[in-house]
Structure 1
């Protein structure tokens, strides 16, 4: 293994940008804002280190609930213009993270936000969960074969918190990686997760939050046991970028003063933590730290 393939976090911070030249990550997310909430720091970090990063978004997020009054009439039940507005928010968020490549699965508007399970939105003819899974898989397989990523990131089988579009994104991504194997055999696939211990620690140190926000107990937020996490990425140097990207999704997210917490339209405070967590779903783990976790998703893969 070459030194580049076994770099530690210390090596990377000392080396600066460019050490990841020729290495590629592809992240598949369901809606605008998901890329920032779950993997924004990872995107910013690997871009800063010189890797090629591409985000695929599966829908426009048309069924999102809008925070505040200014854009309230854009929602699906009124003007139904929220999806187009969220393209602008997504563009601003990606720019704040360092400007990864981006595309919508099948082109902007091909698949529609399905809404939560059991809602009428799931019956829309373009709803992501109702659409042709084989078509979506082939669309994403073509992206995988064309970009030739060393690492693909998406959600686990439960979608992180059960949203039907997140679950469909998982299913389509895993199928697309297999579908593309004859043209490009992706070395590693990760599922993005929240770790219960990090959530608990973050909630204990939220800092000031608006009085209207609710402070949850640690077990109320979706998270997996720390024992199931196989990789963590230190994003402490990129928290400002992640906070700026969160703020760019202004119809969906509010960031508290001080930047240690954010909330969605439900007004439930969530911590902004200095690590992002993953489970290795496919491929071999690179070097690990004591305790058995990888700290570098690209460790063990070779640039071409």
Structure 2
């Protein structure tokens, strides 16, 4: 299990490379949800998501031989962007493997940053191709199955704990589980009374299915939210979530997209559905915990284009 000392050490190491993102009370979201809401705005992080933290932490931990070999990562979008941009900044050659369902903008940014981008038919194929490249000598920067990466993502929770007022419940999106594993570890150490809730979208339920089964297992992917679409969680992230997270909630894609529109309307931030899913989940949390809740939302990323969100809105009949 990753401890607070590892997260604090990584925070010190990456401080000159990443942004300490704002933690803000949101009157608009508080009015919308009927409870006080504080948001951690990771969509204002370098590369548009929290992923820059873990990628930077891993890149700074490499040996000279590993740097010389170059790095490889698989991504539904944000991890690939983060690795490409941060590797270029640290003068490390990067290869990013993405499924064709990944946002076109993510592919464009990764290529523009100098990374070699390989596209596969689906996420399972992306992970398989990543494994082959690793076997050929590239150094793996895994999106979530790495204690250094998780400690990097945990710096979100470290900052949230230091900067937020009183909170009772914090909601965190889950793909492979690296963000929630790190955030939960930090919050359990700094604010042990706070409940941590995970959020997935239907068709990207790797963690909730793992919890039901008693361990990680492959899952079928059908969600439009590619940035949450891990084909399975890892034992490492499963162990953290099963021990430190109150529950993992699942919301439909349609509600996640509506959440993105609501974040724009009420919080004045442009977030992707991987963050939009927090709002319908927050309503579930409020129903369960009752009066007195003070919510914290980790707004994990903002790399969906206006065209993406409007297209999804039309698909689901949203206004």
Answer yes or no: same fold by TM over 0.5: no
What interval of TM-score do these two structures reach, taking the shorter chain for normalisation? 0.3 to 0.5
What TM-score do you get using the length of structure 1 for normalisation? 0.34
What TM-score do you get using the length of structure 2 for normalisation? 0.33
